[in-house]
Amino acid sequence: MFSLEGKTALITGGTQGLGLEFARALGRAGAEVVVTSRDLHKAEEAAAALTKETGKRAAGIALNVLEYAQIERAVSEVIEKFGHIDILINNAGVNVRKPILEYDEASWELVQGTNLKAPFLCAKAVVPHMIKRKFGRIINIASMLGTVALAERSAYCSSKGGLIQLTKVMALEWAEHNITANAVCPGPFATELNQIVMNNPEANQFFMNHLAIKRWGKPDELSGLLVYLASDASSFMTGSSIVIDGGWTAE
């Protein structure tokens, strides 16, 4: 039930951090994986490493997830090379930390665009191909901050909350085509995106005070969930949001 043999996965922002870990996990489960980055060299480098590690075919594509024309071209390229896209992981994300009164419009649009608009655009481009095959798995990487808030994360919290709601609409609209849509809501994981917090003793201690497990999560601790959501094992699950946060939101 957990095998991904014969499946192809497209992962946005899959060249580092959680995205790269997701790509490794799916590759180990048997999937062929395509990762994207704005930097083509970085994407191709990650794909080569994935093939070496998992023994499965992988590819890297340059993609700006804010540009629909680029997304359409990327999807066409994947279909041409691999024949189909069975799994879409909307992982690309960004965070800009500022108080609301200091938040500039450009930063707001960047965060909202990358975290919420891009998953919408990527799904629009990929799902018609899934409908033709009567199969699809959409996994949107949201955040625990889509369910609870932190100061100075206005754009991030609202974008991730919006992504959770978007996931529910996707689930309702595409269930009849055997396409599921679920959201993963990670808490504090030790990734590049969170280095600014981890390297700040005061901010890091604030996080430790809210974590029942009293440590940052390790990226591979999300792997099992991603394989489950991408596989036949989760065929009756759609529209759900799963929080993995070391106990933060249990308070």
d(CA 24, CA 26) in angstroms, rounded, equals: 6
Q: Under DSSP, is residue 88 helix (H, G, I), strand (E, B) or coil?
A: strand
d(CA 37, CA 44) in angstroms, rounded, equals: 9
Name every residue whose Cβ is closer than 8 Å to that of residue 211 and which is 6 or more positions away in sequence: 187, 188, 245, 246, 247, 248
Residue (of 225, 205, 223, 203) closest to 214 by Cα position: 205
Q: Which of 68, 103, 156, 228 is catalytic?
A: 156
d(CA 15, CA 35) in angstroms, rounded, equals: 6
The answer to whether residue 156 is catalytic is yes
Q: Please report which residue ranges of the chain form alpha helices under DSSP H.
A: 17-28, 40-54, 68-82, 105-112, 118-133, 154-174, 195-198, 201-210, 223-230
Residues with catalytic roles? 156
